[in-house]
Structure 1
Amino acid sequence: MNRREWGLTTLAGLTGLALPRATSAQSAGTGRGYRYVHLDVFTDRRLAGNQLLVFVQPAGLDTDAMQALTRESNYSECTFVWPPEQPGTDHRVRIFGRTAEMPFAGHPTIGTAFALAHAGVLKPAMSKTVFGLGVGPTHIDLEWKGRQLAFAWMTQLKPTFGKTVDDAGGLAAAIGLEKDAVIRPAQEVHTGSTFLIVPLATRKAVDAAVLDRAKVDAVLTAAGVQRRGLYVFSTERGQDDATAYSRLLGSGGIEDPATGSAAGPAGSYAVKHGLVPSDRAASIIFLQGVLVRRPSRIHVNVASAGSEIASVKVGGTSVVVGEGSMSV
């Protein structure tokens, strides 16, 4: 049986099913459908990594509708791919979180590249593309295996290192750890988004950390640091090949399983402060999402020129889970 015969047989079977007829209210409420690709990002297996919907044909949607579709998905982000707006870019990619549009994010950028490859927009002959994000043009390097996209790298902004929290014991206590768990002063680092990077002694400490927002805010205020997302990591080796084990400490019971926009700053911090040796700076792997049972592998390539970090790339793979459409 060839694919056409199989399809006709399947269609005939579906036609014979006794499905309930749509009510007049359901029929009247049917709107235009917008196609999406559903992916798991920073993983090579389904039902792991970070979830993403990529709307590949969003023409007709306004900002409010894109925000509403993202809320409906209940995923941390969705992306909407538009024609380019800036010279030198190939696609305008708008990223929405549950509450607002975002100028920059990691897993939505990597996942969008895989969605466009799946849709046939990016082709095996292409070694790179440029997305127009809210922060500006973002270069994406593409690696193929046959006709399948195997890996994508996004170039993040050159890191900016901000204020530090020198009260390591106070910060450790604010996240429920012993005072010696924080091994160096935490620091603000920006490669597109700003995070407070917190190095911990062990993987056990990473797993045990709990965000107490009020206590953390008090420590940050005393240090003159704005409220930031806390990205904790340890370079303690485990049974895997990861360079670092990490979490983005969440509040309200929600924890991100893979945060590419924080892995760039964390990789930059680790290289700057000698937690990752220079000969391994181009092949850093952050293992995130283990506690929430969605393990993710985020690759970071930090290149230096002398004592300065010259560039930061964050990359990974993704797997398509399914396709569908949502109506508005």
Structure 2
Amino acid sequence: MTRPRAFMQVDVFSHTPYRGNPVAVVLDGTDLTDDQMQQVARWTNLTETTFVLPPTTPDADYRLRIFTPTRELPFAGHPTLGSAHAWLENGGIPHTPDLIIQECTAGLIKVRRDASTLAFASPPLIRDGPIDEPYLTEIITAFGITHDDVLAHQWVDNGPGWAVIRLRTAAEVLALTPDLSHIPTAMIGALGAYPTGSEHAYELRTFAPGAGVPEDPICGSMTAAIAHWLTPTAPTTYKVSQGHHLHAQAPSK
């Protein structure tokens, strides 16, 4: 822990400084124990801290471990993009030009580089289908709404444990003031549509008390997971607005 290690903090999902979602990246996690990694993640006190390691498979460019202040995640969106950026900035050269392969607990994640933009291919869902009724009732209670307010609900777990409820409007999502003490282990999102013709198609808020994060400013893994759910009905490309309550008003595609 005492030897020098390269470290970056990357602001993800925003063209404006300090308006995105920051991730701490330790570019050499070699020989750190699980407990030491968790200690560093508690110290940074960001939604996620990552550790870059040598890959265990020749198909990957590097291996990544992702920690919240309280636990390790098998996959997360903005840490994937922020870590890929930090790895490239610090001299990383992918096996295939403009395609970075990240190894993590969720598997091999493809990250495409196009000019100055990075985009990841979402891993497959490991759980889908409607939320079970007891858990749904807990969420509804925590959100201070009724069953009639919920248009739809779904497990959209691509690693972190996400589920999501859909409300009628973006305004209803923005008005939520959840009492997370009712759902202390939850990883839950709320989605609502903007009127037709608006700049954004949906407003999304993600609450992750189960990972020690009351509300995530901009959540790439949840956005990607919801895209799996919405694919049959959503346009090929749409914008999701996130982070109004945490002053990170950058859209994610």
The TM tier, using the shorter chain, reads 0.7 to 0.9
Distance in 2, matches of 1:43 and 1:120, equals 23
Which residue is 2:5 aligned to?
34
The answer to whether the Cα contact below 8 Å between 1:56 and 1:116 also exists between their aligned partners in 2 is yes
* TM-score normalized with structure 2 length: 0.85
Distance in 2, matches of 1:113 and 1:92, equals 11
Structure with the higher fraction of residues in strand conformation: 1
Distance in 2, matches of 1:31 and 1:172, equals 46
Does residue 193 of the first structure (1) align with residue 160 of the second (2)?
Answer: yes
Distance in 1, matches of 2:155 and 2:8, equals 34
Distance in 1, matches of 2:54 and 2:213, equals 37
Structure 1 pair 158–164 and aligned structure 2 pair: CA distance change class (3 A): closer
**How many residues of Structure 1 are paired with residues of Structure 2 in the alignment?**
249
Which residue is 2:145 aligned to?
177
3-state SS, counterpart of residue 245 of structure 1: strand
Identity %: 25
Unaligned runs of 5+ in 2: none
Distance in 1, matches of 2:163 and 2:80, equals 21
Distance in 2, matches of 1:182 and 1:253, equals 24
Distance in 1, matches of 2:192 and 2:173, equals 7
RMSD: 2.9
Structure 1 pair 228–171 and aligned structure 2 pair: CA distance change class (3 A): closer
Does residue 51 of the first structure (1) align with residue 22 of the second (2)?
Answer: yes
Distance in 1, matches of 2:126 and 2:71, equals 24
2:159 maps to amino acid: G
Which residue is 1:112 aligned to?
83
* Greater than 4 Å deviation, 4+ residue runs: 165-174, 213-217, 250-253
Distance in 1, matches of 2:252 and 2:93, equals 22
Residue correspondence of structure 1 range 160-309 to structure 2 within 5 A: 160-165=127-132, 172=140, 174-177=142-145, 179-184=147-152, 186-213=153-180, 228-237=186-195, 241-251=199-209, 254-272=214-232, 274=233, 276=234, 280-281=235-236, 283-299=237-253
Q: 1:294-314: CA deviations, max 9, x gaps?
A: 223222xxxxxxxxxxxxxxx
Unaligned runs of 5+ in 1: 1-29, 218-226, 300-328
The answer to whether the Cα contact below 8 Å between 1:142 and 1:153 also exists between their aligned partners in 2 is no
The answer to whether the Cα contact below 8 Å between 1:267 and 1:284 also exists between their aligned partners in 2 is no
Deviates most, 242-251 or 65-74: 242-251
Shift of 1:158: 4.9
1:242 maps to amino acid: H
Shift of 1:228: 3.8
